Amino acid sequence: MNSFKNKRLLILGGSRISCQIVECAHNLGIIVGVTDWYPLDKSPAKKMADEQYYVSTADIDAIVNLIHEKNFDGVITGFTDSVLPYYAQICKKANLPCYGTEKQFELFIDKSRYKELLRQYDIPTIPEYRINLEDIEDTAKDAQYPLLVKPSDSSGARGITICHNLDELKQAIGVANGVSKNQNVLVEQYIDAPECTIFWVFLDGEYYLTMLGNRHVKYNQEGVIPLPVGYTFPSNIQPQFLKDIAPKMKKMFKSVDVKNGMMFMQCKIVNGTCLVYDIGYRLTGSLEYINLKKMCGYNPMEMLINYALTGSMGDYKIVKKIDPYFNGKYTYNVSILCKPGKIKKIEGLDQISKLPGVIGIVIAHPEGDEITENMKGLLAQITIRILGKAENIEEMKKEMLKIHSIVHIISDKGEEMILPGVEEKDFEGTIYEV
């Protein structure tokens, strides 16, 4: 990485997870500003930043003026799809590096569009139904339930519903339509199957798989989609993916002129094949860059910051460090989900931090925060992520289960808030064996 002493970086959006970008930039010696329209108490990353601004990320001209007036050397955004097109416009107008184009971001935000692109390159994806919103009853008459209804341009599991009959379908379409910026709704066959997440990093038009892990989801709440309770890397489907699907994906990336950045793809696993159902051309809340830094010695977040300030993802020596098999070792992520309630006390983190494999603890909701009813079924229910490493599968399983036995999150009513998490059965037949 370059020397960043006295370099100035503007971060678009001050959500709590953006604190990760602030911390990473500070560790590189960068002066950090954060902007959004929220007040300081609603924008946690502003509290960590060196400078705080109250310009909306959607106000392109005002942000560009801010960049010029305050002499920022680069701009970056992180974890929210909706900000990406604004980010591209801002970079273009301010003449600053942007790892993607507005056209590319719009493509990989729109689920309908990127699913069509996947099909063009024979990449498996979830089957869908073409439902006319003006005539739902007739156009859905041949649909095979259950169905998954979601806005085509949203993220974070917002507006997603599983439905089992026509009445539920109509209601679900109304929910998704209300969340969608473009009133574009996707109706897919709901597939109850194991999941995985694929991670890529892009350097000057070359594409590298960084890791592929099992995304362990749990049916631990009534009436909502299952949410992730953990990740284990590498997945046992990785060799087949590298052989059959990865070459097709590289051709797809080339076809839309992807050059730099990083991407994640969430998939269902059916008959040993990855069926892609969600894509993000951005940083992701699973925080896998912490695992990669520890396991392989490079950090995709640092690479994106490097790009924002220099127009380069970094030294090509990074390529030699990329190893999705981690030299025969393993890495994990435990995601602690909480039911609605106000958090009074979090217990056990000091003990967890002393476990031999733990490499990071990231709190999304500290004491005093509330998990609201509106968060139910959304990734916002993830309260803590604990990341770690292990020499072998048994060691990884043991530590992940140990974490769940130690941590407690108590509500202001004295109740345990943690929902059921990873169990012994979740590991069966999912993890790549050396």
- Domains annotated for the chain, with CATH where assigned, are 8-98 (3.40.50.20), 127-189 (3.30.1490.20), 195-427 (3.30.470.20)
Contacts of 398 (CB under 8 A, 6+ apart): none
Q: Say what the pLDDT of residue 156 is.
A: 54
φ, ψ of residue 367 in degrees (nearest 5): -55, 135
User: How far, CA to CA in Å, does 131 sit from each of 120, 134, 151, 189?
Assistant: 21, 9, 13, 12
Q: How far, in whole angstroms, is CA 196 from its chain's centroid?
A: 13
CA–CA gap between residue 20 and residue 17 (Å, rounded)? 6
Q: Say what the pLDDT of residue 135 is.
A: 77
Q: How many other CB atoms are found less than 10 A from the CB of residue 206? A: 14
Do 31 and 55 meet the contact criterion of CB atoms below 8 Å apart?
A: no
Do 231 and 214 meet the contact criterion of CB atoms below 8 Å apart?
A: yes
| pLDDT tens for the chain, residues 1 to 434 | 557 989 999 999 999 999 999 999 999 999 999 999 999 999 999 999 999 999 999 999 999 999 999 999 999 998 889 899 999 999 999 999 999 999 999 999 998 899 999 999 999 999 888 777 777 877 777 788 888 888 876 655 567 888 888 888 888 888 887 777 766 788 888 899 999 999 999 999 999 999 999 999 999 998 788 899 999 999 999 999 999 999 999 999 999 999 999 999 999 999 999 999 999 999 999 999 999 999 999 999 999 999 999 999 998 899 999 999 999 999 999 999 999 999 999 999 999 999 999 999 999 999 999 999 999 988 999 999 999 999 999 999 999 999 999 999 999 999 999 999 999 999 999 999 98
Whether the CA torsion 389, 393, 397, 399 is positive or negative: it is negative
How would you write the chain as a 3-class SS string? CCCCCCCEEEEECCCHHHHHHHHHHHHCCCEEEEECCCCHHHCHHHHHCCEEECCCCCCHHHHHHHHHHCCCCEEEECCCHHHHHHHHHHHHHHCCCCCCCHHHHHHHHCHHHHHHHHHHCCCCECCEECCCCCCHHHHCCCCCCCEEEEECCCCCCCCCEEECCHHHHHHHHHHHHHHCCCCCEEEEECCCCCEEEEEEEEECCEEEEEEEEEEEEECCCCCCCCEEEEEEECECCHHHHHHHCHHHHHHHHHHCCCCCEEEEEEEEEECCEEEEEEEECCCCCCCHHHHHHHHHCCCHHHHHHHHHHHCCCCCCHHHHHCCCCHHHCEEEEEEEEECCEEEEEEECHHHHHCCCCEEEEEECCCCCCEECHHHCCCHHHEEEEEEEEECCHHHHHHHHHHHHHHCEEEECCCCECECCCCCHHHHCCCECCC
Q: Say what the pLDDT of residue 89 is.
A: 98
Contacts of 123 (CB under 8 A, 6+ apart): 245, 248, 249, 252, 276
φ, ψ of residue 4 in degrees (nearest 5): -110, 15
Q: Say what the pLDDT of residue 138 is.
A: 77
End-to-end CA distance of the chain: 32
**Residue among 341, 75, 388, 86 at smallest CA distance from 231:** 388
Q: Say what the pLDDT of residue 140 is.
A: 79
CA–CA gap between residue 162 and residue 225 (Å, rounded)? 7
CA–CA gap between residue 235 and residue 346 (Å, rounded)? 31
Q: Say what the pLDDT of residue 114 is.
A: 95
User: How far, CA to CA in Å, does 109 sit from each of 100, 356, 378?
Assistant: 12, 39, 18
| Cis before 146? omega within 30 | yes
Buried b (16+ CB within 10 A) or exposed e, 335-365: bbbbbebebeebeebeebeeeebbbbbbbbb
